[in-house]
Amino acid sequence: MNKLFTRFSPFIKVIVYGNSMHPTFKNGEIVLVNKLVYRFTKPKLNDIVVVKNSLDLIKRIKKINGKSYFVVGDNLKFSTDSRHFGWISKSQIIGKVYKL
């Protein structure tokens, strides 16, 4: 039931696990994710997004090439991101992140 709610809720809370978004988001910080916004607008440079990869990741959009997005962590030294797994598509973006 909770999984269903999480899947269909337009807004979800996300716990940031790890330090790759430091100093913007600290480990354990809770952020708000808007899952609807990109249905009506395009992701923009510097948007922080939750991305579906092998795991759900939180990253910042650093480059846009057509419909492909290059996402990186703010803490470049400790981040696994597009530098390793490559460009991602819009369909992999779950939603836009807002600080609470």
Footprint on this chain of another protein (rule: CB under 8 A): 2, 5-6, 9, 11-22, 25, 27, 30-33, 50, 54-59, 73, 77-80, 84, 100
**Residues 79, 71: Cα–Cα separation, whole Å:** 10
The residues pairing with 49 across neighbouring beta strands, listed in sequence order, are: 59, 96
* Distance in angstroms (rounded) separating the CA atoms of residues 21 and 25: 5
**Choice between 55 and 86, CB closer to another protein:** 55
Residue with smaller CB distance to another protein, 40 or 66: 40
Q: How far is the CB of 79 from another protein (least distance, A)?
A: 6
End-to-end CA distance of the chain: 25
- CB 6 to another protein: min, Å: 4
The least CB distance from residue 65 to another protein, in Å, is 23
Three-state secondary-structure class, residue 63: strand
